Amino acid sequence: MLSIRMLLHRRVLGLVALIAAFMWAACSVETTINDDDDDGGGGQAPNLVGAADVNIREVAIYQGIKRTLSVNGAIAASEVPLVAGRDALVRVFYSTPRAGTTVTGRIELGSGEVLDSPAVLVAESTDEGLETTVNINVPGALIGATFDYRVSILEEGPNENDNAAAHYPAAGLESHVVEGPQNTFRVVMAPFQYNADGSGRVPDMSEPALEVYRQRLMQLYPVSNVEMRARAPIPWSGAIQPNGQGWQEVGIELFGLRNQDGESADVYYYAIFNPADSFPQFCGQGCLLGVTLLNADPPDVGNPQLRVALGVGFPEVGPDTAAHELGHSHGREHANCGPGLDPNSIDQNFPHAGGQIGTWGYDIINGQLMPPTMTDIMGYCDNQWISDYNFRALLDRGRNVNLPDGVVDEGHGYQLIAIDGEGQVTAWKDVGTVPAARIRNNITAAIFSDVGPTQREGTFFRYDHLPGGWIILPKTEQETTRIEVVVDGKLVVAQR
Ligand SMILES: [Zn+2]
């Protein structure tokens, strides 16, 4: 039994590695999955040891904002949360007299994955020089409830040349709690068709246009994923003025639509409209870009009914406006930056002068550093990013509102496997639907068919007063012949 479970575990990890390799193929930092640890003998991989005269000083991870993991050989405390399922960059800061030498950066993770990334040494790493650190992309799929890692800067050589200062920690893995659970931020765009000027204008809600909004939210919000779609346009005859007239009515309509459409409680509704042909035409004399009721009570979740916001859809300002307004519907007040802020709307707890972000940021979409002088998205200034303060605050809200991805229907329905307390299968049925409420994936199953094994996320529901429970998995295109899944430490095998 034990050996079968271990085999299953290895296969699942192998699939994760494949997905990870695919996800990062197009990325600027070249990270590869190292598969040297196959137990079947294999090729003559070069022997890599800690590079001579390299001294690791600091390790930091970036999922939007710098979070220091260790400094000068000791674990570092940080207020910046880690988020499960969210892509990350790990930077290793070092010093060395051997500038110009090519090395291999490596991270070993608690899951058993080993990721390698080539680098050319410089004398001294700096925060502002992305190229001065050894950088390793860690796909979100490899960040779970804890982040357990060891980094090394390696070169070829015999074991006796190993330099202990080029590894951190010296032995074993350093473990950090991942505060943010896997969570998906869901937004429905509600385009208002502008008829007041007879134009019938609707903002571009094509897939590429939506993707721009989705990526902006993904950059700034501490979430594992952003799901976005557009609902059907709403014909609207009321005028929407740059001075704020006509906005209330849109908000009230949106509030009603969100209830009427029957989306689940975690979904945010965003009204979007273009009351002129262009942004300069609308905003020539100054203008309102968006409006949201501050949704701060109760602080942990806000009011579900107020998960609504509205703003203009002009491409120059639309994505930042959406990120800002949706911040208000997460209960965030203004960062003190820019003209025209109502003093009562300023967040008195915001810690950085001038509404600046206060720490180094990093764009996980485009692979770029963001200097600490950029300003928080909740202000009115330009050059916006997310501060450490609001990154944490958005997570504190999001973790209570955004549910993780549940079992995903691939269009073939679901299968239900009932098991007893011993993990024995008592029934295996195809079912058309699963309970309407969003559910939490908590198992990974190997699914076998005539075309070979694949892997799917699913959910185990426990009976409350009986041992055992139900496993729900999506059906795949091929007829399933066998399912293997570990539930409560027991291997469950369903066979047809
Ligand atoms: Zn605002």
Domain ranges of the chain: 2-177, 184-401, 414-495
Residue 81 has pLDDT above 90, yes or no: yes
Q: Could you read off the pLDDT of 348-396 as tens digits, one per residue?
A: 999 999 999 999 999 999 999 999 999 999 999 999 999 999 999 999 9
Q: How far is the CA of 332 from the centre of ligand 1 (A)?
A: 9
In angstroms, rounded to a whole number, what is the distance separating the alpha carbons of residues 237 and 53? 71
- Residue pair 65/388 in contact (Cβ under 8 Å)? The answer is yes
How many whole angstroms from 125 Cα to the centroid of ligand 1?
38
CA distances to 21, 92, 120, 170, 450 from 132, rounded to whole Å, are: 24, 9, 8, 22, 50
Give 85 Cα–ligand 1 centroid separation in angstroms: 29
Instruction: Find the 300 Cα to ligand 1 centroid distance in Å.
Output: 20
CA of 455 to the centre of ligand 1 (A): 44
Contact between 318 and 230 under an 8 Å Cβ cutoff? The reply is no
Q: Single out the residue of 386, 310, 294, 305 nearest to residue 346, CA to CA.
A: 294
Give the distance, in angstroms, between the CA of residue 64 and the centroid of all CA atoms in the same chain.
Answer: 10
Which pLDDT score, from 0 to 100, does residue 12 have? 27
> 248 Cβ partners below 8 Å, 6+ apart?
none
- State how far the Cα of 34 lies from the Cα of 269, in Å rounded to an integer: 43
Report the distance separating Cα 390 and Cα 411, nearest Å. 38
Q: Round to the nearest angstrom and report the end-to-end CA distance of the chain.
A: 20
What residue has token string 């490899």? 142
CA distances from 15 to 113, 185, 416, 433 (A): 11, 26, 23, 27
Q: How far, in Å, is the centroid of ligand 1 from the Cα of 93?
A: 37
Q: How far is the CA of 394 from the centre of ligand 1 (A)?
A: 15
437 Cβ contact list (under 8 Å, min separation 6)? 264
Domain 184-401 class? alpha beta
DSSP 65: B
CA of 216 from ligand 1 middle (Å) equals 17
Query: What pLDDT does 181 receive?
Result: 87
Given a contact cutoff of 8 angstroms between Cβ atoms, the answer to whether 31 and 136 are in contact is: yes
pLDDT of residue 23: 31
How far does the centroid of ligand 1 lie from the alpha carbon of residue 329, in Å? 10
Q: 290 CA distance to ligand 1 centroid (A)?
A: 7
Nearest to 36 by CA among 26, 44, 24, 27: 44
pLDDT score, position 422: 87
Residues 6+ apart with CB under 8 A from 467: 420, 421, 422
**Which residue has better confidence, 468 or 193?**
193
Q: How far apart are CA 438 and CA 345, in angstroms?
A: 34
Residue 20's pLDDT band (boundaries 50, 70, 90)?
very low
Q: How far is the CA of 321 from the centre of ligand 1 (A)?
A: 9
If you average pLDDT over every residue of the chain, what do you get? 88
pLDDT at residue 4, as a whole number: 27
Cα(404) to ligand 1 centroid in Å equals 28
Q: Can you give the pLDDT at residue 6?
A: 26
Could you give the percent of the chain with pLDDT greater than 90? 70
Range 242-265 average pLDDT: 92
* pLDDT tens string 300-352: 899 989 999 999 999 999 999 999 999 999 999 999 999 889 999 999 999 99
Q: Band of the pLDDT at 491, cuts 50, 70, 90?
A: very high
CATH of domain 2-177: 2.70.50
364 alpha carbon – ligand 1 mean position (Å): 25
Distance (angstroms) between ligand 1 centre and the Cα of 181 equals 27
Report CA(324)–ligand 1 centroid distance (Å): 6
Three-state DSSP class for residue 231: coil
Give tens-digit pLDDT for 431-463: 766 543 445 667 889 999 988 888 888 888 777
- The reported pLDDT for the residue numbered 407 is 63
Residues 6+ positions from 287 with CB-CB distance below 8 Å: 242, 243, 312
As a dihedral over the C-alpha atoms of residue 247, residue 250, residue 251, residue 257, rounded to 10 degrees, the angle is -170
